[in-house]
Amino acid sequence: MSEQSGNPGGAARTRLGVAKTYKLFVGGKFPRSESGRVYEVTDTRGNWLANAPLGSRKDARDAVVAARKAFGPWSGATAYNRGQILYRIAEMLEGRREQFTAEVAAAEGLSKAKAAARVDAAIDRWVWYAGWSDKITQVAGGANPVAGPYFNLSTPEPTGVVAVLAPQESSLLGLVSVLAPVIVGGNTAVVVASERAPLPALSLAEVLATSDLPGGVVNVLSGRTAEIAAPLAAHSDVNAIDLAGADADLAKELETAAADNLKRVLRPADATSDWSADPGVKRMLAFTETKTVWHPVGV
């Protein structure tokens, strides 16, 4: 590039900056917010980083439609196939390690080394959950002994469309820790990114788009958590909501709205939740329904 013409004298050139336009991720595409709004995202010291889309109620509605459309094929895919795709996401993330390290460092006010450690933990978490895809049914399901000539088998089945409010503080590791357990079981997700630090989530959407993940399985919205979460909690076509990113007041309000349409609710953990700890299988099982089948023996 240094030999490029149009640079007389070869003096030190200044390149024009190429600022990135962060966009929503809905149905495998990257639309701007339907409302046309954006808001300024800053680092922890208040320096401007980028403009992120300020999602609206209608973006949430469109995301639910996309997630509902993707639910059939995704829940019907084999567990093995879903595991491969989740592992592929980890591979793609590994290739973009530098970018995510920089974004997490800016978003959470960490040193480069600490941010890199969090990105590594996030990648490892994808791998960990990818492995669970064909094991969770064996661990959580089983054959029940019954008093009669029947096989009686219980299996965990995906719940449907899950609204996920990503944790506010942990912009990547926290996000991965709530998103991966939702989709590994065959659910589709509408994610509301951290309000203050949405950029790693919006960049993660680019990773998801290039990882063989079918469009609509994960939809990422950014904006005011309270504004986007309210219609999601009240939406009759959303089957469950994870309130990880809601504070106590908002969580109560959303839980009330969700009760109206009998939505499955996962309450937020306490404020000091440590996302680097071993997550266990709790989050995966929170978004499954146990299906039990009776089948006559000997037929």
Phi, psi of 298 (to 5 degrees): 85, 15
Site string for another protein, 138-167 (x = CB under 8 A): ------------------------------
**What does the H/E/C string look like for 201-264?**
HHHHHHHHHCCCCCCCCEEEECCCHHHHHHHHHHCCCCCEEECCCCCHHHHHHHHHHHHHCCCE
What is the CB neighbour count within 10 angstroms for residue 165? 29
Residues paired with 77 in a beta bridge: none
Contact yes or no for 109/123 (Cβ under 8 A): no
Which of the 8 DSSP states describes residue 298?
T
Q: Is 61 in the site for another protein (CB under 8 A)?
A: yes
- The least distance separating another protein from the CB of residue 63, rounded to whole angstroms, comes to 11
Beta carbon nearer to another protein, 70 or 284: 70
3-state class of 270 per DSSP? Answer: coil
- The least distance separating another protein from the CB of residue 68, rounded to whole angstroms, comes to 8
Residue 96: HSE in the Cβ half-sphere, 13 Å Cα cutoff: 21
**Binding to another protein in span 230-249, by CB under 8 A:** 231, 234-238
Q: Which of 26, 41, 54, 64 is in the footprint of another protein by CB under 8 A?
A: 64
Beta carbon nearer to another protein, 118 or 235: 235
Contact yes or no for 238/142 (Cβ under 8 A): no
**Binding to another protein in span 65-84, by CB under 8 A:** 68
Distance CA 218, CA 66 (A): 9
- The least distance separating another protein from the CB of residue 139, rounded to whole angstroms, comes to 30
Q: Which stretch binds another protein (CB under 8 A): 72-80, 227-235, 264-272, 282-290?
A: 227-235
CA distances from 210 to 183, 187, 213 (A): 16, 19, 7
- Give the total of residues touching another protein (CB under 8 A): 11
- The least distance separating another protein from the CB of residue 161, rounded to whole angstroms, comes to 9
Beta carbon nearer to another protein, 33 or 170: 33
- The least distance separating another protein from the CB of residue 43, rounded to whole angstroms, comes to 35
Beta carbon nearer to another protein, 164 or 190: 190
- The least distance separating another protein from the CB of residue 237, rounded to whole angstroms, comes to 3
Residues paired with 231 in a beta bridge: none
Both structure tokens of 281: 């299988």
- The least distance separating another protein from the CB of residue 74, rounded to whole angstroms, comes to 17
Site string for another protein, 247-276 (x = CB under 8 A): -------------xx---------------
Residues that bind another protein (CB under 8 A): 61, 64, 68, 231, 234-238, 260-261
